[in-house]
Structure 1
């Protein structure tokens, strides 16, 4: 059975935060020019040096214990279709074994991280929660 080290609401909140970070792109326009009113929209979608959202989500994930980090990666993999819900324990173990570097950097490097975490959670909840 699926026994998560965090509740569904925590994952849903994390997915929202991932979505906010992933919606942004690197600043690539040095002079927006044109209409200052229109420029504000482009600026909100670009990541700036003082933007804390990426640092905050990194800190949040890295402050999790190892079991939570392994479960997060396992949920991501299950949502992406790399593993099945029945393989929960094995997938968490594989996540621990393949851990190389920061889990937050791994997840932030995945373009559809929020969608796959949501899908993984849905699959696991369908499978059953203890």
Structure 2
């Protein structure tokens, strides 16, 4: 279902929470993802934000591909609640990242 590893999503969550000090690194990390990963990361955020229901995840992914008009890193980093949206999206999709999160603590 996911074309991005939970580890990469958690990496984005933690880097985003670090704030300004990690901005450049996070932009580079997101920019370095492949197109599938970028679309899935965006779709997870949209599900978490409530723009799409979990059962419409594939539609969210397709929309992320077709509506990408600016670089994904700029779009996602412009979301004020990106970390919360990604966490909520993972939870809504039933993806448990508790083991992955422990690696970041």
- TM-score by structure 2 length? 0.84
Structure with the largest fraction of helix: 2
Matched, 1:116 2:80: no
Pairwise CA distance, 1:12: 1.6
Report the number of matched residues: 95
In the alignment, does 2:27 pair up with 1:58?
yes
Q: If you compute each CA radius of gyration, which structure gives the higher value, 1 or 2?
A: 1
Matching of residues 1-130 of structure 1 within 5 Å: 3-21=1-19, 24=20, 51=21, 53-125=22-94
Q: Where do 4+ consecutive residues of structure 1 move more than 6 Å?
A: none
**CA RMSD across the alignment:** 1.3
The normalised TM-score by structure 1 is 0.68
Q: For structure 2, list consecutive stretches of 5 or more residues without a partner in the other structure.
A: 96-105
Report which stretch shifted further, 109-118 or 3-12. Answer: 3-12
Query: Structure 1, unaligned stretches of length 5 or more?
Result: 25-50
| Deviation at residue 9 of structure 1 after TM alignment | 2.7
